[in-house]
Chain A
Amino acid sequence: MSGAKHVIEARGVHKHYRLGVTDHRTLGDTIAALFGRGHISDPAIGRVGGRDFWALRDVSFNIHQGEVVGVIGRNGAGKSTLLKLLSRITRPTSGSIRMRGRVSSLLEVGTGFHPELTGLENIHLNGAILGMRRAEIASKLDEIIAFAGIGPHLETPIKRYSTGMKVRLGFAVAAHLEPEILVVDEVLAVGDAEFQKRCLGRMRSVADSGRTVLFVSHNMFSVQSLCSRVIWLDQGRLQEDGPTAEVVRSYLAETNAPNHTRVWEADEAPGTDVLRLRAVEVRALAAEKAFLTTVPVEVEMRLDNLGITDSDLNIQMIVHTEDDVIAFISDMTESIGTSLWVPGPTTVRCTIPEDLLNDGVYRISLLFQRRGARHFIVEDALGFQVMEGPRQGAWFQKWRGALRPRLHWQR
C-alpha cells in the first residue's frame, strides 16, 4: 500500500452523547442560567437523568485511495456514529477526520424525496441534495431511470410509488454519483434479492474504478464478498483492523462464543438507579446439561431491585441467531401479566421449551422496559450453541431455518 494516498485520516476520534434525555431544555432553564449562576452550556442544566455515553472512543485509522473497507460490529458499537461523522452530519467531540475528495454518503435511501413531486423532479432534487450539479444529473438521467426501472412512472407523484420503487429510485440516484469516497450504510437490508445483487454489483464497479468505498453491514457474506479490509468496532473502540478474512473470523469467534453465565459486581452491573442486572445464566434442563434441540432451555436473571415498588416493569428476551436475525422475542408481561415488585434481590426465569430451537448458535439480549419505553438493554447477554438431538426420519444434514418447532400435524 505504500505510495498510495490516504484519503481518510481519522485521529483520536471521540464522540460523546447524553442518553436518556435529548437535551430538551426549556427556554426558562436557559434564561435562568443566563441571569443566575452557571453558564448556558452547563451540561447539568435541563439534562437531568441523562447518562454519559461514548459512542466512539479514541478511534484512529487511515484509508488509502481505492480501498474497499467494511465496518462491522454489534448494534450500538459505534458504526452509525462513525458514518455520521464521515458524512459531516455531526462533529466529533474531540479528534479530527481529514478527508480528501468529495464524499457521498448513503445513510438512508431516498432522503429528501418529496411525496408531492414526480419521480423525475425527485431525481433532480435528490441528486442535488447528494451534491450533484445540474449538468451532472442531466447527463446521467437516462442511466438512472434505467437502473431504477421506473420509466413509465416518471411523471407520477412519488407518493403513489411503492416502497420498493422508492428504494430503487433512491439507490439509482446515489449509485450514479461519482464521489471520490462513497459511504454506504446497510442500504442493502431493504429491497429484494435481485435488487440487492444489483446494488452490490454497482458498489463493486465503483470500487473497481479506483474510488474508495466504506461499507457498514451486519451481513458477513456481503462484507466478505465486497471488502478487502475490515474495521471492527466494539463499544466505541476500534477492536481490530486488518484483512477481511482475519477480522471476520475473530469477530464471529467472539460474538458466537458460548457465554453461559455472566455475573457483575454491584458497581458495574448494567442497569439504572432503580434496577440492576447482577447475573444471567442459561442452562439446559436435562440431566447431562447438554443443549440439545430436544431439551428445554432455562434463562435465569438475578436482579437487584433498588426501588421499583409498582408493577411497571417488563422484560423482553430477544433471541438472535448466528447471523444476527431475530429468531423470536418473548415478552414477560405478555406471558404472565403484571404484578407488584418488591425491592431487594429478585430472580426471574424463563423457559424455552424443547423442540423449538434449531441446531446452531443463539444469542440472547435482554430489554428492560418501564412506562412502555426502554429502561435499559443488555445486548448479547448470553450465547449458547444447540446441538442436534436424537432425530426421527431420514434427513441428516443441517436443518434450515432460525427455529425448528415441532408442530401438530394430522394425517
Chain B
Amino acid sequence: MVEASSPWWRTELGEVWEYRDLVLLLVRRDLLATYKQSVLGPLWQVIQPVLTALVFAVVFGFIGRGQVGDAPPVLFYMAGIVPWMFFANVINRTSQTLVWNAALMTKVYFPRLVAPLATTLATMVGFLLQLLVFGVMATVYHFTDGYGGAIGLGLVALPVLILLTAMLALGLGLFVAGLTARYRDLGFLVAFGVQLLMYASPVIFPLAMIPEGSKVRDWIVLNPMSGIIEGFRSALLGTPMDWSLLAYPAMMAVVILVLGLVIFQRIQRSFADVI
C-alpha cells in the first residue's frame, strides 16, 4: 500500500527484519570496501586510538600528574577514547548514510533504516577489534608492569555499555541523518559538535576529579555519555562499578533512539524528492 501519509508511529522495523540479509551484506560491503585497497587494512582501526591515548598520556603526563588513578596512563586514556570514538563514529557515519546512499535510494526500494543500521554494526566491528587490542595491552601490562586491574567482574557490564552507546549514537545519528538530507552543512556542524562534546565528557579525565555538587559536574553528568564512559572505564580497568551512574544514560538511550526512529521515518518518506 502506497499512500500519501501514514501515522507517525508506523515504522519499518518489521520490514527491516525481512531485509536482515541485506543488513549483513551492507556491513560486509562497508568493511571489505574500506580495507580492500589499504596496505595496513584493519590495522588502521587500531593505530588511531592507541596513538591518541599515547599522545594524551604524554601531554597530560606533563601538565597534571596523578589524575588517572592506579592504572597505567595509556590504558586509562584508551579506556575512555575507544568507547568515545565508537560513539562519535556512529553518529558521524549514520548521519551521512542517506546522503552517501542517495544514488541507491532514488533507484530502488528497501527499508531506509537498513542503511544506518548496517553502518552502526560495521562501526561496531572496528570497535570490538579495538577492545580486543585493549585487552592484549592490559595483559602485557599485567605481566611486565605487575598491573593488577583489567580483568574483573566489571567486564560483565560491557555488553550493556556497548548496547547503550550504540542506542544513543544511532538515535542521534538518525535524528541528524533526517536533517542532513535537507541541510548538507549540518554534517560538519555535528562532527564539530561531537568533537567538542568529548571535552565535556570524562574521556580525558576521571569524573572523580570534578568535585561532587559543583556546577561543572552537574553539566557533565547531564551528558548521557559521561555515565557510560565512566562505566566503560570501571569495566575495563577493573575499578568498582557505580551502577547508579548508568540509570540516567539508559533512560536517555531509549528516549533518544525512539525519537530518532520517529523523525527518521518522517523524513525518509519525502527523501527521494528532496535529494
Query: What residues make up the interface of A, taking CB atoms closer than 8 Å to B?
Result: 17, 22-27, 30, 84-99, 103, 105, 107-108, 111-112, 114, 116-117, 121, 124-125, 128-134, 157
Name the residue among A27, A93, A97 with the largest chain B CB count within 10 angstroms: A27
Cβ contact within 8 Å between B25 and A116? no
Contact for B109 among A27, A92, A105, A108, CB less than 8 A: A105
B192 touches A (CB below 8 Å): no
Select from chain A the residue with minimum beta-carbon distance to B1: A98
Which of B82-90, B179-187, B217-225, B241-249 is found at the contact surface with chain A?
A: B179-187
Q: Which residues of A contact B19 (CB under 8 A)?
A: 128, 131
B37 touches A (CB below 8 Å): yes
Cβ contact within 8 Å between B108 and A87? yes
Known: A96-B3, A107-B108, A111-B108. A117 touches B29 (CB 8 A): yes
Query: What residues make up the interface of B, taking CB atoms closer than 8 Å to A?
Result: 1-5, 19, 21-22, 25-26, 28-29, 32-33, 36-37, 103-110, 182-183, 185-186, 269-270, 272-275
Cβ contact within 8 Å between A128 and B1? no
Cβ contact within 8 Å between A91 and B2? yes
Q: Which residues of A contact B25 (CB under 8 A)?
A: 124-125, 128
Cβ contact within 8 Å between A129 and B110? yes
Cβ contact within 8 Å between A17 and B273? yes
Q: Which residues of B contact A124 (CB under 8 A)?
A: 25
Cβ contact within 8 Å between B3 and A92? yes
Cβ contact within 8 Å between B37 and A116? yes
Cβ contact within 8 Å between B2 and A131? no
A-B contact pairs, 25 of them (CB 8 A): A25-B183, A27-B183, A84-B272, A90-B270, A91-B2, A91-B4, A93-B4, A96-B2, A97-B1, A99-B2, A105-B108, A105-B109, A108-B107, A111-B103, A111-B104, A111-B107, A112-B104, A112-B107, A116-B33, A116-B37, A117-B32, A125-B29, A128-B21, A128-B22, A131-B110
| B136 to A: closest C-beta gap in Å | 29
| A253 to B: closest C-beta gap in Å | 33
Known: A111-B108, A114-B33. A89 touches B182 (CB 8 A): no
| Bound Cα distance A91, B273 (Å) | 9
Select from chain B the residue with minimum beta-carbon distance to A157: B36
| Bound Cα distance A24, B29 (Å) | 31
For chains A and B in complex, what number of residue pairs have CB atoms within 8 angstroms? Answer: 100
Cβ contact within 8 Å between A89 and B274? no
Name the residue among A26, A84, A112, A125 with the largest chain B CB count within 10 angstroms: A112
Q: Which residues of A contact B275 (CB under 8 A)?
A: 22
Contact for B269 among A23, A91, A96, CB less than 8 A: A91
Known: A27-B183, A27-B185, A96-B4. A90 touches B108 (CB 8 A): no
The 9 A-B residue pairs with the shortest CB-CB distance, nearest first, are A128-B22, A88-B109, A111-B107, A97-B2, A90-B272, A116-B33, A134-B21, A96-B3, A128-B25
Sample of 16 further A-B pairs with CB below 8 A, known A90-B273, A92-B4: A23-B274, A26-B185, A27-B185, A87-B109, A88-B2, A88-B109, A89-B272, A96-B1, A96-B2, A96-B3, A98-B2, A103-B109, A116-B32, A117-B33, A128-B25, A131-B19
| Bound Cα distance A90, B3 (Å) | 10
Select from chain A the residue with minimum beta-carbon distance to B186: A27
Q: Which residues of A contact B1 (CB under 8 A)?
A: 96-99
| A65 to B: closest C-beta gap in Å | 17
Q: Which residues of A contact B106 (CB under 8 A)?
A: 89
| Bound Cα distance A124, B25 (Å) | 8
Select from chain A the residue with minimum beta-carbon distance to B21: A134
| Bound Cα distance A360, B22 (Å) | 51
Select from chain A the residue with minimum beta-carbon distance to B6: A91
| Bound Cα distance A98, B1 (Å) | 4
| A385 to B: closest C-beta gap in Å | 38
Q: Which residues of A contact B270 (CB under 8 A)?
A: 90-91
